[in-house]
Amino acid sequence: MRQKKLSDYLLRFAVLLAVILLVLRLTCPSQTRIACVGDSITYGATIRDKSHDSYPAQLGTMLGRKYSVKNFGASGYTLQESCDRPYTSHKRYKKSLDFKPDVVLIMLGTNDTKPYNWISTEAFQDDYRQLILSYQELPSRPDVILMTPASVFPENFNPAKPYKIRAGVAGEAAKAVRELAKELGLPFIDIHEVTASHPEFFLQDGVHPNELGAKAIARTVYEALKDWGY
């Protein structure tokens, strides 16, 4: 008799638990997972409070609780595999895959502009296609959104010289991203154009945006996502 009562109790508990889980699923829909892939500009280098003021952090605040925005920026890393620090060799690349994103925002290319890294537009685009594919093949089937690298102002700021990042080549990389987005039919956000007339965003070293610049990038991404129905 006691065993039957225990069985009945366990059965009722299991049913009640299933109902609770169903209600929670219906009333608390899962968050949209957004992976921000990039270099030090995404990471928030030179920004004092990265967890609050980097562009991914500010984007997450703008989007609200229905979204989980994660920062997978890796300082000094490149898009091209032949460069000194390819992004795919960094642990944050693997973490971005494991995140099972619904949306992937890619903003790479600034470090590719260094004299010993840049090969050609074709080489840049070839490796970009492979990076895009690595995300598209995930079980979560994320939407991949391309972002042009930001403008840089090394000619105006002496501290930028050690980076060896070239403004002209950054323009070439941005053009390459635009062409690739058109070729593949992918949405893209032109951060290069948005930042081109705002050297005040890069006052510290001509390369890394300050909190104001990160906010402008986040706002641009936020408005694009909303326009596209996210």
Percent of the chain with pLDDT over 70: 84
Which residue type does 136 have? Q
Q: Mean pLDDT over residues 140-152, rounded?
A: 97
Q: Mean pLDDT over residues 174-185, rounded?
A: 98
Q: Mean pLDDT over residues 180-192, rounded?
A: 98
Q: Which residues contact 181 (CB under 8 A, 6 or more apart)?
A: 146, 187, 188
pLDDT on residue 157: 59
Give the whole-angstrom CA distance, residue 135 versus residue 103.
9
**What are 76-130's pLDDT values in tens digits?**
999 999 999 999 999 999 999 999 999 999 999 999 999 999 999 999 999 999 9
Burial of 98 (0-12, 13-18, 19+ CB in 10 A): exposed
- Helix (H/G/I), strand (E/B), else coil: 155: coil
Q: Provide the CATH number for the domain formed by 31-227 in this structure.
A: 3.40.50.1110
Can you give the residue ranges of every domain in the chain? 1-30, 31-227
Residue 158: pLDDT band with limits 50, 70, 90: low
Supply the mean pLDDT for the chain: 90
- Where residue 106 falls (left for φ over 0; alpha for ψ -120 to 50; beta otherwise) is beta
- Helix (H/G/I), strand (E/B), else coil: 134: helix
**What are 10-69's pLDDT values in tens digits?**
556 555 655 554 444 444 568 999 999 999 999 999 999 999 999 999 999 999 999 999
Give the whole-angstrom CA distance, residue 177 versus residue 140.
24
What is the pTM for the complete model shown? 0.86
Residue 73: pLDDT band with limits 50, 70, 90: very high
